């Protein structure tokens, strides 16, 4: 049999290849490509949010302004010395040296300000201290002991009021970040994610330093690259606040005229909203036609015209009452923060969440892979393919079907990129990108969003040319070289 194959004429080999070629391509992905919306006709609401160009928020917005004078309140401990009342005549007042250098030494006996904002002194009873300065409180106490009660002689009294220990606020700070420099673990082309152990600290913030900025400074600074660009503030039970710094979301509805009179009540729960898809013009010669059903995540089709409203569990971090402060803002974007939003109280929780869900996947000629999206700048389709190809430098590119059109070499390259984008209602939207056009026209470089699947395929013509190049031409060259070697060996 082998002898018969060796003596087969060349034209019969060509005829055999021509007969086998349709059979080989019967299951090829290029013959059954994924249909999608061309990148140049992608509606705006499906393009995703841009990350590049954002700048860090003015940090002074996260700090409360210090008043000109310290105002007393519950929790302050005063140093009080009243000669003849709190202390005998001609006795030296007790001196208190605090451990912290931020508080000056004080004179007198410790008197705390109670929860109702008052202090209790001998012979005169209750004195209201909340909202007063030390000088104002001292004058009030002097007036009560002299002119009102006539316990001490006016002008010869010795009354000293000082701040012995300022009040502080106990705050819990939880940072879901990795303390090490290595923020993720990568095995081959698979990013297996980050550690979400994070850190948690209970800190005591003194009065007028009990704000978000000082809480961050005490626990490591602004969120790192492995965390979200947001800070969550969860109020304690004693200071429940429902003020929202997020804009009101638009209300989704039905485009069906018969349902126009039906109003659905949507509760404000976060700054996340579902955009209403608008009709966009599509070319008549594309494979993806208007009205073609979208692919559903369960393998079926979605024939609805609208996206379902986003449903957010009230028991999550997106519920009302939780304040979300963005760290980076787009040019011209304004954030409306009040003093009540950034001031922290006893029992408040400051939470910084990990962003481990911001990944995209690759498949097709790129090979299977999972990669993390950058946090502070955009990654388009060209950058995603470059990252996927860079991770394959150590492997044989032919095993994955050859290089992409970005290589710009003499071999046949794949130029058909498909982005499968998951929509909030569970369906997926296929987006078609021609890499040759994307290289020339930046407007066709679709931005990669979390959860996207990037699949690289040949077009039909590229698949046929690649097959001829890789199997017929290379086989013919190897056969010619082998015959020359055999012929040369026989001549000797």
For residue 251, the 8-state DSSP code is: P
Per-residue pLDDT of the chain (492 residues; tens, 9 = 90+): 444 444 455 545 554 555 455 545 544 555 667 788 898 888 888 888 888 888 899 999 999 998 899 999 999 999 999 988 887 777 788 888 877 777 788 888 999 999 999 999 999 989 999 999 999 999 999 999 998 888 888 888 889 999 999 999 999 999 988 655 444 455 555 555 555 667 899 999 999 999 999 999 999 899 988 888 899 999 986 555 444 444 444 444 444 444 444 433 333 333 433 344 444 454 544 555 544 545 454 555 555 554 444 444 568 877 888 999 999 988 888 888 899 999 999 999 999 988 766 889 999 888 888 998 888 889 999 999 988 888 765 554 444 445 555 655 556 778 889 999 998 888 999 999 999 898 899 888 999 999 999 999 888 877 777 777 666 666 666 666 667 777 665 554
CB 474 within 8 A of CB 446: no
Please give the distance of CA 88 from its chain centroid, rounded to a whole number: 64
How far is CA 125 from each of CA 98, 144, 151, 159, rounded to the nearest angstrom? 28, 10, 13, 16
CB 355 within 8 A of CB 227: yes
Please name the residue that has the structure tokens 């007790």: 94
> Kind and range of the H or E element at 455?
strand 453-457
Which CATH number is 77-165 given?
3.30.1950.10
Cα separation, 492 vs 489, in Å, equals 6
**Joined tokens for residue 54:** 């954002």
pTM: 0.66
Please give the distance of CA 147 from its chain centroid, rounded to a whole number: 64
pLDDT the model gives residue 2: 41
Please state whether beta strands 349-352 and 168-175 pair in parallel, antiparallel, or not at all (unpaired): parallel
Domains of the chain: which residue ranges? 25-50+378-474, 52-67+168-247+269-277+316-356, 77-165
Cα separation, 372 vs 195, in Å, equals 14
DSSP string, 116-174: TSEEEETTTEEEE-TT--HHHHHHHHHHIIIIIT--S-TTS--EEEEEEE--EEEEEEE
Cα separation, 72 vs 207, in Å, equals 10
Helix axes 10-25, 460-467, angle to 10 degrees: 140
Cα-Cα-Cα-Cα torsion 115, 120, 125, 130, nearest 10 degrees, comes to: -50
DSSP string, 357-419: T-EEEEEETT-SEEEEPPSSS--BHHHHHHHHHHTTTTS-GGGGT--BGGG--SS--B-EEEE
**Diameter over CA atoms, the chain:** 135
pLDDT the model gives residue 409: 55
Cα separation, 281 vs 276, in Å, equals 16
Cα separation, 401 vs 456, in Å, equals 10
Please state whether beta strands 359-364 and 369-372 pair in parallel, antiparallel, or not at all (unpaired): antiparallel
pLDDT the model gives residue 487: 66
CB 349 within 8 A of CB 238: no
CB 320 within 8 A of CB 436: no
| Nearest one of 114, 121, 133 to 74, comparing CA atoms | 114
pLDDT the model gives residue 249: 43
pLDDT the model gives residue 182: 47
| Nearest one of 252, 254, 279 to 45, comparing CA atoms | 279
Tell me if residue 69 falls in helix, strand or coil: coil
pLDDT the model gives residue 341: 93
pLDDT the model gives residue 347: 93
């Amino acid at each position: 049999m082998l002898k018969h194959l060796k003596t087969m004429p060349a034209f019969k080999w060509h005829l055999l290849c021509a007969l086998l070629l349709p059979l080989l391509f019967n299951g090829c992905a290029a013959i059954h490509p994924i249909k999608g919306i061309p990148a140049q006709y992608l509606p705006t609401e499906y393009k995703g949010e841009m990350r590049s160009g954002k700048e860090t928020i003015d940090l002074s917005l996260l700090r409360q302004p210090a008043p000109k004078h310290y105002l007393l309140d519950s929790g302050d401990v005063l140093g009080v010395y009243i000669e003849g009342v709190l202390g005998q005549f001609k006795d030296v007042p007790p001196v208190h040296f605090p451990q912290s250098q931020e508080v000056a030494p004080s004179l007198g006996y410790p008197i705390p300000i109670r929860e109702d904002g008052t202090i209790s002194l001998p012979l005169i009873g209750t004195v209201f201290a909340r909202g007063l300065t030390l000088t104002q409180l001292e004058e009030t106490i002097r007036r009560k002991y002299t002119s009102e009660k006539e316990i001490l002689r006016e002008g010869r009294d010795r009354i000293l009021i000082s701040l012995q220990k300022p009040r502080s606020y106990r705050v819990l700070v939880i940072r879901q970040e990795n303390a090490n420099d290595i923020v993720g673990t990568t095995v081959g082309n698979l990013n297996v994610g980050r550690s979400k152990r994070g850190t948690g600290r209970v800190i005591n913030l003194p009065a007028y330093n009990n704000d978000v900025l000082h809480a961050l400074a005490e626990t490591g600074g602004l969120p790192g690259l492995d965390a979200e660009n947001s800070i969550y503030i969860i109020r304690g039970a004693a200071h429940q606040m429902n003020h929202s710094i997020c804009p009101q979301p638009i209300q989704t509805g039905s485009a069906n005229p018969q349902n126009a009179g039906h109003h659905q009540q949507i509760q404000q729960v976060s700054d996340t909203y579902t955009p209403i898809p608008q009709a966009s013009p599509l070319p008549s010669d594309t494979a993806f036609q208007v009205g073609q059903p979208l692919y559903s995540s369960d393998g079926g089709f979605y024939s609805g015209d609208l996206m379902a409203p986003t449903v957010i569990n009230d028991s999550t971090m997106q519920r009302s009452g939780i304040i979300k402060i963005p760290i980076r803002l787009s040019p011209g974007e304004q954030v409306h923060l009040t003093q009540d939003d950034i001031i922290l109280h006893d029992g408040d929780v400051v939470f910084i969440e990990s962003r481990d869900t911001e990944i995209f996947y690759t498949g097709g000629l790129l090979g299977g892979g999972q990669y993390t999206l950058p946090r502070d700048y955009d990654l388009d389709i060209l950058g995603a393919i470059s990252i996927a190809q860079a991770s394959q430098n150590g492997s044989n590119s032919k095993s994955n079907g050859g290089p992409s059109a970005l290589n710009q070499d003499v071999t046949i390259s794949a130029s058909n990129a498909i982005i499968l984008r998951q929509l909030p209602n569970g369906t997926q939207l296929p987006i078609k990108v021609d890499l040759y056009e994307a290289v020339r026209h930046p407007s066709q470089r679709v931005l990669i969003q979390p959860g996207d699947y990037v699949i690289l395929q040949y077009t039909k013509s590229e698949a046929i040319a690649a097959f001829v190049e890789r199997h017929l031409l290379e086989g013919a060259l190897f056969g010619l070289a082998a015959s020359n070697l055999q012929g040369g060996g026989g001549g000797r």
